[in-house]
Structure 1
Amino acid sequence: MSASSLERTPAKHDLYRAMALALRVGELLLGSGEGTETVAGAMRRITNAYGVPHCEADVNLSAITLSHVPSDGSVPVTAERRVRRFLPDYDRLIAVHEMIRETSGGSVPLEEAEARLRKITRRVRVYPNWFLVTALALIASSASILVGGGALVAVAAFVATVLGDRASAWLARRGVAEFFQITVAAVLGSLVAVLMVAIGAPVRAEAVVVGAVVALLPGRPMVACVQDGIAGEYVTATARLFEVFFILTAVVSGIGITLYAAVRLGVPLTVEDVPAAPLLIRPEQLLGAVGVTLSFAVALLVPLRHLVPAAVGGAMVWMVFVQLHVWQVPVVLATAVSAAVVGLFGSAYALRAQVPSMVITIPAIGSLLPGTALYRGMLEVSLGHGGAGQESLLQALSTALALGAGVILGAEILRAVTGSDLTRRVRRQGPRRVRRPFISRPAARRTRGY
């Protein structure tokens, strides 16, 4: 028998199909913001379910590599798939996780799993495109209300965000890099506020900038970055950190361009006018926090049945943050603790509803994204207060990282208390209850730091 005919045997063909299925699943998960540990684990579950053990997955931000080394001495197989960015779709993400759970049980034939994955990738979005644009603009409106802006400011923030989003879409269709798309969106968002200040509008126009900035901040990549670092995936964590850095740089550049021009043209901008969220548990603040959460959830295509739990998480994180402020806890620590509370809540809900925890946690932390600190920092730099500006920008970065660390801490607390995700569910075998063995987790290896 020739070598070419051996390569076409059914066993070899099924091996390739199983690896291709695992790579496609990994691409969908990574593109939706899942951590490297989750992606690699899901790919191994797929290959194990279809008789391809001894696989190793190498996941980074732009490519996924899957290698199979047969135990019988056959030729090893390595395949790679590039990860291309697309709009995060949490409805699709939930469906992929459900498919992984069912296939890992061994009850779904390979052909059916492939068909299900094709159906998932081709499914119509749960919300139409115009609704997503509206949701993105409502993030800005809700954030502007949260920091003390009124109805007119909310409308201005809505318009500014729509203009920025449409300008970014126009640039994207012409192949302009995403960095400059975000910069242009930030320029337009801050320009609307500067124009309102220039004409003397009797409102807190700076709240427009804060709202527009919050809609651009990378909450999802920040959480994934910290998650990868804690899990020991330092290469991917570093890549995600650079992604966050470039997004923040684009936002800061856009604001800085507008503010620099406004100050040089004599627009009366002062640091004292920078809005700050009134740290009170009042209906308008809770409305703003819940509005930010729901708008983020819709923009991330969270299905309707999970919107109410996400809103509960958004209200919870804001109330905890305000109470910690009353107790005079430092801002960064209060942010981390509040994010940990919502991380614990989101992980518990995810365990019960069998969905990824990020469906709840990522929208819920939206109200704590450091839009005000970013705006204050760039305004201070533009006014010549370099030291104070750097301090504000450093606080914004610290707050962002505290959000990511807090969310992961909440999930780790649940893991430590319940053993979820570390052991499979307890099952009965006759009169005895048998606990299955621990799932291997490299991040849990005890090294004592050396």
Structure 2
Amino acid sequence: MGAVDTPRRTLRIMDLALRVGETLLANGAGTADVQATMSSICHHFGLRGAYVDVTYVMLTVMHQENIDDVPLALRRNVNHRETDFEDLTDVDHLVRRLLADEVDLDEARREIATISTRGHTRPRWSVLASGGLLSAGVAFMIGGDWIVALIATVAAWLIELMRWRLARFRLPDFYVQIAGGLCASLLAVGTAALHVPVNPSLVISANIVVLLAGLGFIGAIQDALTGYYLTAGARIFEVMLSTAGIIVGVSGGIMAGGWLGVDISNQTSLPPLSQLLAVTFGGAIAAMTFAHSTHAPWRTLLPIGLIAGVGASIFVAGVNADVDRAFIAAVAAILIGIVSYPVARWCRVPALVVVVSAIVPLLPGLTIYRALSQLAENNLSGIFQGITATAIAVALAAGVIFGEYLAQPLARETRRLERRLAGPRLVGPFRDKGRRPKQIVPGGGPRPRRRPR
């Protein structure tokens, strides 16, 4: 691979790094992973002094060959965010092949353009069906029967249709979440008012998880833990705003239930140990269907289901043993993180694909509904339930990241990476496995390589 000797080639390299970073960031990758991947691409092509900056809405690459040269800078804005694990996986594979010199610059630019513009490969009806089965799986996990699962499935289908239609009008996600929460709660209250033998709290709790799934919990906590506080603050605020929309919508349904005389108080708890098999099955179905709805590769669905089912059973068993919910959520998340890393390598996908899908059944939908129902009855205990729900969400995200810390091998490439990156890699290769490009020095001839210490 020749040296970088023209501004045009330099700009093409910088554009490739920006397009890769944009795809990773838009699909939930952490800022540290995005910045390290972009820097690896620039470094591989000889841009040793390239400066890479990543914020939540903008990516910047700047390069200045010599102090007397005019610096070159390119920027891209991240305007569209929609989780597509197929795109994330394909970009990850492209970067690995690029750093191994299996593709050249021009071919890599063509491939990233194809990935960015091809759209989703799975039909819309398939994604819609997955959303309903996700809600049904959560319903079984939290102790619902087949009637609860059926109504939760219908509610989830209505939510997905409504979100899809509202997204076409480019409404902010806050209003979309309000509509989703209101739709789920009104359907549950309506069926209970018609004397259908169903517990509305279970239906609403299952659909709260559907609305929470896909929010950037892991990316936000990863950015905070790795020192990217500005981007972490933006991600956390977005998650809080979306969650507030869910709370507003569900609260409207709870008020409607009170007017209709429907008992909306949450008297339920997680199922006993005798139903642990149903919990495992429900957690596995929820994780697999979420992975399918986010276009994860087919080969990952069964491993994700197995990991999520075990994690869900650990969580429910711990709650039955009177262990604090946030603590047992962290324990289950750490185990998920430890197992997900080798599974992701075996499935040839980024670890982010596995961990995000596997923790979906553990999201605190039941705790959030318990907080709302208590506050609707002027019971201040709902404040403490809300704090517990927040603690569970943070524990899940921080737990899977800590599990990745423990799982990733302390090999030579990992120790090298630690000088540039404070944290585990959830997306992107560890090192540039290809040969380094030759650098031309003013006296002529290639610059000699340093001996490794």
TM over 0.5: yes
* Larger relative contact order, structure 1 or 2 (CA cutoff 8 Å, min sep 6): 2
Residue 39 of structure 1 and its aligned partner are, at CA, apart by 0.3
2:414 pairs with 1:422? yes
Amino acid at match of 1:350: A
1:440 to 419, 439, 445: 419
Amino acid at match of 1:259: I
Over aligned residues, Cα RMSD in angstroms?
2.0
Partner of 2:6, secondary structure, is helix
Question: Is the CA contact (8 Å cut-off) linking 1:278 and 1:285 kept in structure 2?
Answer: no
Question: Is the CA contact (8 Å cut-off) linking 1:189 and 1:212 kept in structure 2?
Answer: yes
1:165 to 134, 137, 160: 160
2:110 pairs with 1:115? yes
Residue 51 of structure 1 and its aligned partner are, at CA, apart by 2.1
The aligned residue for residue 431 of structure 1 is: none
2:136 to 133, 141, 155: 141
Question: Is the CA contact (8 Å cut-off) linking 1:377 and 1:392 kept in structure 2?
Answer: yes
2:405 to 390, 404, 412: 412
**Structure 1 residues 193 and 46: alpha-carbon distance in aligned structure 2, compared to 1, 3 A threshold:** same
**Structure 1 residues 375 and 326: alpha-carbon distance in aligned structure 2, compared to 1, 3 A threshold:** closer
2:149 pairs with 1:154? yes
Partner of 2:211, secondary structure, is coil
In 1: Cα distance, 2:234 partner to 2:272 partner? 35
**Structure 1 residues 420 and 34: alpha-carbon distance in aligned structure 2, compared to 1, 3 A threshold:** farther
The aligned residue for residue 25 of structure 1 is: 20
The aligned residue for residue 52 of structure 2 is: 57
In 1: Cα distance, 2:197 partner to 2:215 partner? 35
2:42 pairs with 1:47? yes
Deviates more, 1:239-248 or 1:76-85: 76-85
Deviation digits for residues 202-245 of structure 1 (CA, Å, limit 9, x no counterpart): 22232110111110104550111111111111111111110110
Question: Is the CA contact (8 Å cut-off) linking 1:148 and 1:276 kept in structure 2?
Answer: yes
In 1: Cα distance, 2:357 partner to 2:91 partner? 20
Task: Structure 1: give runs of 5+ residues left out of the alignment.
Answer: 1-8, 424-436, 445-450
Aligned residues: 420
Deviation digits for residues 45-83 of structure 1 (CA, Å, limit 9, x no counterpart): 111122222122211111111122324531112221000
Amino acid at match of 1:441: R
In 2: Cα distance, 1:305 partner to 1:164 partner? 28
**Structure 1 residues 251 and 97: alpha-carbon distance in aligned structure 2, compared to 1, 3 A threshold:** same
Aligned runs of 1:20-419 on 2, under 5 Å?
A: 20-123=15-118, 125-272=120-267, 274=268, 276-278=270-272, 282-325=276-319, 327-385=321-379, 387-415=380-408, 418-419=410-411
In 2: Cα distance, 1:135 partner to 1:275 partner? 26
Amino acid at match of 2:261: G
**Structure 1 residues 197 and 413: alpha-carbon distance in aligned structure 2, compared to 1, 3 A threshold:** same
Question: Is the CA contact (8 Å cut-off) linking 1:40 and 1:57 kept in structure 2?
Answer: yes
Deviation digits for residues 316-367 of structure 1 (CA, Å, limit 9, x no counterpart): 2123223433554211010001001001111122234442101111111111
TM-score with structure 1 setting the length: 0.88
Identity of paired residues, percent?
A: 28
The aligned residue for residue 444 of structure 2 is: none
TM-score with structure 2 setting the length: 0.88
Task: Structure 2: give runs of 5+ residues left out of the alignment.
Answer: 424-453
